[in-house]
Structure 1
Amino acid sequence: MPVPVEALSRLFPLESLRQETREQLAREALVSEYQRGENVFEAGDLDDDTVYLLEGELRCNYPDGRSVAHIATAPHGRYSLNDAVPRRFTAKVVSGKAKVMRLDRRYLEKLITWDQLSRDDSYRHFGTAPGGNNWVFRLLRAPAFARLPTGNIEKMFQMFEPVTVKPSEVVMREGDTADYFYVVREGTASVSKYLDGAPQVVAYLREGDTFGEDALLSNLPRNATVRMMQGGKLMRLSREAFEAVLKPPMLSWVLPAEAARLVQSGAALLDVRMPEEHAQRAIDGSVNVPLYRLREDIDQVVPSGSRLVVYCNTGERSAAAAFVLKRLGYEVSALHGGLGAMLRLLANAPAA
């Protein structure tokens, strides 16, 4: 159910945001209707939402017996329900019906942070033309950025270097040494790779899409060529800036024992080495999709949204794979120490 942007204008702190930021949040909001007696959430629930009551009345019932009213039309109705997680109370509908709006908590925090930072006179990257900040909204919505601390967002925008590009300009070439991480600010681009001895276009990029991180994370040469289709602008981070601001918070590492526990709990074990390496020696039960084919083939092997543990020989290719997979919507961890660490654990495990 869509929510009119005007509904956000009376809510705190959304009323202080720019109109275009509220419009973006209105597009992302999830609005649901509840009937009398239904619970919006229960005490102890774990979720990722900031919840606003748009219409109706709730009773917030605490485990200790306390009960507090939350009424959409009351002065306190402009505030979200308590964002503490786990939820501290059960929110039950006591009016005939209620309308509730949910926003992704992390995305909301990132947009508020960016909206405030971009008001500073020294801020260089705010687009004044209609749609001039769509690249920011898409960038911050990408799954790979979901757990990026808000402090790193400020650093990232401070370190961005704008680059003007021409139609047909090659921004990076397959086989080159990695130097920058890029975000498309304006324009479109094609991504091609040598497959079966000839270059083939494997993807297209638009505003807010990123590229160049694979080689920076894996310390390998570029695995694709990116050519602009339209002239436009890119934002880039140097290798040093990328490693300082983006690399640490975006990668979730697990030790072998934790990786084994995750796999036993249902996570898929993904080997991102070359097929020849996998055939020579691999962890039992793993599936193989080499890093360079990950974007094209992963959804044929593991459904989107699945929990994954990725590994390679040392961890470098795994780092690149984890970044790619997060952007594709997977919940993913990289095995610290790579194949050798896991094999040592299995070798030392007590016999069943």
Structure 2
Amino acid sequence: MPVPVAELAKLFPLDALRPETREQLAREATVSEYARNEAVFRVGDMDEDTCYLIEGELRCEYPDGRTVAHVAGSGHGRYSLNDAVPRRFTATVVTQRARVIRLERRFIEKVITWDQLSRDPTYRFHDSSAGGSAWVFRLLHSHAFIKLPTGNLERMFSRFEEVYVKPGEIVMREGDVPDNFYVIREGTAAVSKYLDGAPQVVAYLREGDIFGEDALLANVPRNATVRMMQGGRLMKLSKEAFEAVLKPPMVSWVLPAEAARLVQEGATLVDVRMPGEFAQRAIHGAANVPLYRLREEMPSLLAPGGRVVVYCNTGERSAAAAFVLNAQGYTVHAMHGGLGAMLRMQAASAPAV
């Protein structure tokens, strides 16, 4: 159900945002309806949403027995339903029905930060024309940036360099040494790879899409060619800027023991090395999906949204794999130290003979 922009203008702190920012949030928001005695959420829940009550009344019940009423349209009702994680109380509908606006918590924080940063009329990345900042909102909402701390946004934008490109221009070529990370600000591009001895288009990119991160994370040659279809503008981060601003928060590292626990609890273990390496030695139970084939093959192994543990020999390729899979919507952990660390742990825990 679409959310009217006017509804967001009644809510705190969304009422202080620029109209264009509220319009973007309205596109991403959803409205959920609840009947009497239904719970919007329960104490201890770990959901990722900011919730605003726009119709009805809720009873907010704390573990100590204390209850508080939350009424839509009241002064208190302008505020969200407590964003603490885990949830501190159970919110139950007491009226005939209730309607709740839901927005992804981390996206709201990033959008509010962008709205504040770009208010300076001289800010070089804000474009007041219709749709001029669409690339920013799409970038901030991408799965690839979900783990980026909000505090890193200013650092990222301050280090962006704008590059103008022509139709047909090759921005990067398969096999090249990695140098930069890119975001498409304006225009479209085609991504191609050599498959079965011939170049084949494997993806198309538009405003707000990113490319070039795989090779920077794994410190390996480019695994694809990107050619502009339309002329436009790119935002570029140098390798040094990318490693300083984006690389550290993008990967969730786990030690071998934690990786083993996650797999026991149902996570899919994926070896992102080449098939020859996998055949020579691998962790029992792992699936082999080489880094360069992740985008194409991973959905047939596990639907987006699933939990994945990735590993390679040292961790370099795992970092790139984690970024790729995060962008596709998976919950990903990379095993610190790679295959060698897991084998050492297994050897140390084996009974003496």
Q: The TM-score by the shorter chain falls in which range?
A: over 0.9
SS of equivalent to 2:199: strand
**Alignment partner, residue 349 of structure 2:** 349
User: TM-score scaled to structure 2, two decimals?
Assistant: 0.98
Cα deviation, residue 296, structure 1: 1.1
User: Deviations 1:170-205 (Å, cap 9, x if unpaired)?
Assistant: 000111111100001111000011111111111110
**Alignment partner, residue 284 of structure 1:** 284
**Alignment partner, residue 86 of structure 1:** 86
User: TM-score scaled to structure 1, two decimals?
Assistant: 0.98
Identity of aligned residues (%): 72
Partners of 2:351 and 2:307 in 1: how far apart? 27
SS of equivalent to 1:220: coil
Partners of 1:279 and 1:86 in 2: how far apart? 43
Amino acid at match of 1:221: P
User: Deviations 1:261-301 (Å, cap 9, x if unpaired)?
Assistant: 11111111101111111111111101011111111111112
Residues 243-282 of structure 1 aligned to structure 2 (within 5 Å) = 243-282=243-282
Partners of 2:301 and 2:33 in 1: how far apart? 37
Amino acid at match of 2:224: A
Q: Which moved more, 1:202-211 or 1:56-65?
A: 56-65
Amino acid at match of 1:168: G
Partners of 1:268 and 1:135 in 2: how far apart? 33
**Alignment partner, residue 118 of structure 1:** 118
SS of equivalent to 1:309: strand
**Alignment partner, residue 48 of structure 1:** 48
**Alignment partner, residue 18 of structure 1:** 18
**Alignment partner, residue 77 of structure 1:** 77
Partners of 1:162 and 1:128 in 2: how far apart? 17
Amino acid at match of 2:303: P
Amino acid at match of 2:264: Q
SS of equivalent to 1:317: helix
SS of equivalent to 1:248: helix
Cα deviation, residue 251, structure 1: 0.6
User: Deviations 1:287-319 (Å, cap 9, x if unpaired)?
Assistant: 011111111111112221111111111111111
SS of equivalent to 1:137: helix
Amino acid at match of 1:181: F
User: Deviations 1:113-165 (Å, cap 9, x if unpaired)?
Assistant: 00110112442111222111111111111112112111101110111111110
User: Deviations 1:68-116 (Å, cap 9, x if unpaired)?
Assistant: 1111121111111111112111111111211111111000000000011
Cα deviation, residue 350, structure 1: 3.4
**Alignment partner, residue 190 of structure 1:** 190
SS of equivalent to 2:128: coil
Amino acid at match of 1:261: R
**Alignment partner, residue 152 of structure 2:** 152
SS of equivalent to 2:27: helix
Cα deviation, residue 13, structure 1: 0.5
Q: Which moved more, 1:252-261 or 1:297-306?
A: 297-306
Residues 55-70 of structure 1 aligned to structure 2 (within 5 Å) = 55-70=55-70
Partners of 1:270 and 1:215 in 2: how far apart? 19
Amino acid at match of 2:125: H
Specify every segment of 5 or more residues in structure 2 that has no aligned partner in the other structure, as ranges: none
**Alignment partner, residue 173 of structure 1:** 173
**Alignment partner, residue 134 of structure 2:** 134
User: How many residue pairs are counted as aligned between the two chains?
Assistant: 352
Say whether 1:239 aligns with 2:250. Answer: no
Partners of 2:45 and 2:292 in 1: how far apart? 39
Partners of 1:28 and 1:204 in 2: how far apart? 23
**Alignment partner, residue 39 of structure 1:** 39
**Alignment partner, residue 2 of structure 1:** 2
Cα deviation, residue 65, structure 1: 2.0
Say whether 1:340 aligns with 2:344. Answer: no
Q: Which aligned segments of 4 or more residues in structure 1 are displaced greater than 6 angstroms?
A: none
**Alignment partner, residue 104 of structure 2:** 104
Q: Cα RMSD (Å) of the superposition? A: 1.2
Amino acid at match of 1:72: A
User: Deviations 1:203-262 (Å, cap 9, x if unpaired)?
Assistant: 110111100001101111111110000001100100011001100001111111111111
Partners of 1:289 and 1:73 in 2: how far apart? 52
Specify every segment of 5 or more residues in structure 1 that has no aligned partner in the other structure, as ranges: none
SS of equivalent to 1:190: strand
SS of equivalent to 2:233: strand
Cα deviation, residue 351, structure 1: 4.5
SS of equivalent to 1:176: coil
**Alignment partner, residue 215 of structure 1:** 215
**Alignment partner, residue 224 of structure 1:** 224
Partners of 1:91 and 1:221 in 2: how far apart? 52
Partners of 2:42 and 2:177 in 1: how far apart? 52
Classify 1:351/1:266 alpha carbon distance in 2 versus 1 (closer, same or farther; 3 Å).
farther
